Structure 1
């Protein structure tokens, strides 16, 4: 599913051009934090979109890889003094291995059973990380010592974090764009639409599902490394949070699953809304979640396919009506002249 066909290229170019100059126009740490969160959630939601949006494997345990990315880079940094940039590569490899180990048995399940299995693996890994206290500090978590510099991926300001998050999002969108226009993407969409029919056509289903989970898990691990360096603190409860997995999924669903820019649109709309509601109704415990939930229900109810596919369908319908009107108009004029 593509966004206005070839106009995806223009949309991506405009988005990144505006994103590059945005820090030059905004000098407010609160707004910069929101922009960083938008880029972060767009990136991790984009990684989830590759697995769920294209191959149709609805996972709610995606924070497994997000948390593993955090702990991999953090432990390497604290215990061995390894730079987070190298830790990012280690997290990429580890998350892909774990993704393959989880995907191999789970891909035998279908529908809600696959989703429940990913949730079970998420809880198991969270408990394991909490259990090995001597290595991970358990539920207490790990504090990352602040040593500012590009080598440690730590900065006093927000702009550097913003551009790193933008770079990660660029990688995620570039990979998604490539998948969307490659044979892999076509096969994954065929598997999503009708797995039995795809198998009858000779598509190696298991292999391409594994491709999807490898790419998806690796990219999610990279976003986890960035988030750990941004907060400078890691703990099992937040690293392997089921609510994060749900939020990531909702952002992609609202923006448009199976599209390149869908997660970006969803993050641009939902992340600032969540932050505004949290700050506005901070004195009313839980009211921000209530309003946020109502907005989600309305969006999912009225545009179940997501914002981007809905706009795309309306645009195509408008073009078809214009084309028909253009074809009919000369005939109507000829008919009127004949009557005269």
Structure 2
């Protein structure tokens, strides 16, 4: 129960933020941060817990965005539009998940790149509006508060799901796959079913986030929502924060949004360079990301008092030597 106190307090503060009539820029940062935490935490289910590195989750981000845009344009309600995005993402995730998740290591990663690029090119040619994109209009979305609370509710749901998965038998199976898939199979773990299920859960949440993003931005185009850069961004956030942890994807998304917000306006060409530098530093010096670095600092701080106590003990009892 003690572990839940901090997350609950933070969520209550975030829920009350619009009540204090903060400026729209803060609400904008909140909306984008919530959506990117959803992306990061969703990817972490498959990539962090099961160790399956996918570069192709931009497919579901774009799929959710385009499904919502076209469904709203056809006259469907917001609820039905999001439901259609969920169904489409779930079906497509299973269709591509069963063959690609039988591959391992770099072969799976390369396959996801191929799928992502194939879908992007397909949408450029055949999607309504083509490369020019489409306008998204939801008559029920008035003011940033509506978008803020939509993203906030999705954030709460994904964090609850991730917490449940990490403490469940399902999550234990995913961790077993990451540690040694052959050993997991030998113990009777249905690894394909677990990986496809994790892929489906991640795809559905990313599609919903994509739908809410499209509703907020009011305009989308294939080279934006289906881009390879977007797939890289989704992957980088949990890596920066700390793979396989609860807080890692959250911290990674916050770092990502802060860097993006500060650099995009003044130095857009340095955006991905900064992320690349961060990624290299993490791989070289702290594979556990920001969370791993924090744990290392805590361990060092705990060792210092113990070292001092040991030194005092030796000084007080010189006869032992």
The two structures have a TM-score, normalised by structure 2, of: 0.90
Question: What is the aligned partner in structure 1 of residue 85 from structure 2?
Answer: 91
1:217-255 Cα shifts (integer Å, max 9, x gaps): 111111011011001112211121111111111111111
Q: 1:68 and 2:51 equivalent? A: no
Q: 1:191 and 2:177 equivalent? A: yes
Unaligned segments of structure 2, at least 5 residues:
none
Question: What is the aligned partner in structure 1 of residue 28 from structure 2?
Answer: 33
1:138-194 Cα shifts (integer Å, max 9, x gaps): 2222112352x2xxxx12x22221121111111111110000000000110010111
Separation in 2, partners of 1:120, 1:61: 8
Deviates more, 1:266-275 or 1:114-123: 266-275
Q: Identify the match of residue 4 of structure 2 among 1, 9, 21.
A: 9
Deviation at 1:201, TM superposition (A): 1.4
| Distance 1:7-1:325 versus aligned 2 partners, 3 A rule | farther
Aligned residues: 319
SS of residue matched to 1:158: helix
Separation in 2, partners of 1:304, 1:273: 20
Question: What is the aligned partner in structure 1 of residue 254 from structure 2?
Answer: 268
1:6-44 Cα shifts (integer Å, max 9, x gaps): 654223213212212333456322232222111111111
Verify the 8 A CA contact 2:72 2:138 in the aligned structure 1: no
Verify the 8 A CA contact 1:55 1:209 in the aligned structure 2: yes
| Distance 1:97-1:167 versus aligned 2 partners, 3 A rule | same
| Distance 1:323-1:20 versus aligned 2 partners, 3 A rule | farther
| Distance 1:9-1:324 versus aligned 2 partners, 3 A rule | farther
Q: 1:137 and 2:140 equivalent? A: no
Deviates more, 1:27-36 or 1:260-269: 27-36
The 5-angstrom pairing of residues 1-340 of structure 1 reads 7-25=2-20, 27-79=22-74, 81-133=75-127, 136-145=128-137, 147=139, 149=140, 154-155=141-142, 157-281=143-267, 286-315=269-298
Runs (4 or more) in structure 1 with deviation over 4 Å come to 316-326
| Distance 1:287-1:236 versus aligned 2 partners, 3 A rule | closer
| Distance 1:8-1:312 versus aligned 2 partners, 3 A rule | farther
CA RMSD of aligned residues (A): 2.6
SS of residue matched to 1:58: coil
1:264-290 Cα shifts (integer Å, max 9, x gaps): 1111122112211122336xxx24444
Separation in 2, partners of 1:101, 1:32: 37
SS of residue matched to 1:71: helix
Deviation at 1:257, TM superposition (A): 1.2
Separation in 2, partners of 1:169, 1:15: 12
The two structures have a TM-score, normalised by structure 1, of: 0.85
Deviation at 1:320, TM superposition (A): 7.3
Verify the 8 A CA contact 1:254 1:300 in the aligned structure 2: no
Deviates more, 1:292-301 or 1:112-121: 292-301
Separation in 2, partners of 1:322, 1:206: 48
Question: What is the aligned partner in structure 2 of residue 3 from structure 1?
Answer: none
Separation in 1, partners of 2:114, 2:214: 24
Separation in 2, partners of 1:320, 1:45: 33
